[in-house]
Amino acid sequence: MYLLWLRVAAILYAAAGVAVFPAVLYKVDRWRRWCVHLGGMAWFFHFVSVVEMLVQAHHLVPVSAREVQSLLGLAVVSVFFLVWWLYEAISLGLFALPATFFMVLIPALGPDRYTFASQGVRVSWLIAHITALLLAYVALGFSLLSSILYLVQERRLKAKPKGRHLAEGDAGFAPLEWLPPLDNLERMSEAMLEFGFPCMSVGLVIGIFLVQETSLGAAYFLDPKIIAAFVSWAIYVLLLLVRRGAGLRGRKAAYLSGAVFAVMVVVWTANLFSHVHRFGAP
């Protein structure tokens, strides 16, 4: 029965993890209330699941990896709600709620390995996994390109000579005249980030399901590419928080986007050193 409560908690954690982003990034009170209520219900069902799981296993200390993982997730979200209650710091939910969801997702699948109904279903999910992550990388690349063009356009406008009049009929030579206005470039960069983040989140969630059918188990998450992928996801969240929460714009935002893109390049480079998760690997 504890699996049922844990699965309910995982669904509620996912909903709370979605609600926390508009609550923090856009400061929407309605989403803030939904985040707290959904997260609170998830914590309750999670607590009931952990107690029932330990009672059923006849020990008070977690033994298996999935028991430890579930208990660790409960500890993370408990600390988050304690901090929120004392300081009203809901911003920490950007990391705590999705992280808890990722931690309880694997134990919620059951004590045994998850298996797909057929090879065709597995391949379909694999295609969705790769497509979602590629869209995230492409979106971040376009965000970086927009930021670079922002810097170029800003420099061009500042260097534009004043008081200079062209002769009649002489249009002059302006090779960068086609660049969009600064405001458009800024909005394009931010929109690409906001599009790429859910793609990356979906890709990682699907990847968790896919790994359950392998014989690697927890060793899979010690792979350098997997570690780099989750680190890049956390940095992606930080980038969104800094840009939206701190109002970061212009040159500094462009440099920050470039730093996150460099992390994504590291993720792809780690693919060359991965023994269990690289293109062409079984």
pLDDT digits (tens, 9 = 90+) for 4-34: 999 999 999 999 999 999 998 888 899 999 9
What's the domain count of the chain? 2
pLDDT digits (tens, 9 = 90+) for 104-156: 988 888 776 667 777 888 889 889 988 998 898 888 888 888 888 888 888 88
Same-domain check for residues 240 and 262? yes
Structural domain including 103 reads: 1-112
Same-domain check for residues 129 and 76? no
Grade residue 279 by pLDDT with cuts at 50, 70 and 90.
very low
Grade residue 163 by pLDDT with cuts at 50, 70 and 90.
very low
Same-domain check for residues 272 and 179? yes
Q: Percent of the chain beyond pLDDT 70? A: 79
Based on the number of CB atoms within 10 Å of its own CB, is 81 exposed (0-12), middle (13-18) or buried (19 or more)?
A: middle
Same-domain check for residues 141 and 261? yes
Give this prediction's pTM.
Answer: 0.78
105 occurs within a structural domain: yes
Same-domain check for residues 101 and 123? no
CA distances from 9 to 33, 74, 103, 108, 157 (A): 18, 10, 11, 9, 53
State which of 86-95, 147-156, 244-253 shows the largest mean pLDDT: 86-95
163 occurs within a structural domain: no
Same-domain check for residues 123 and 216? yes
229 occurs within a structural domain: yes
Residue found by looking up tokens 């504890």 in the block: 2
- Of 140 and 101, the one with more pLDDT: 101
How many whole angstroms separate alpha carbon 231 and alpha carbon 106?
19
How many whole angstroms separate alpha carbon 156 and alpha carbon 88?
44
**pLDDT value, residue 136:** 87
Same-domain check for residues 224 and 275? yes
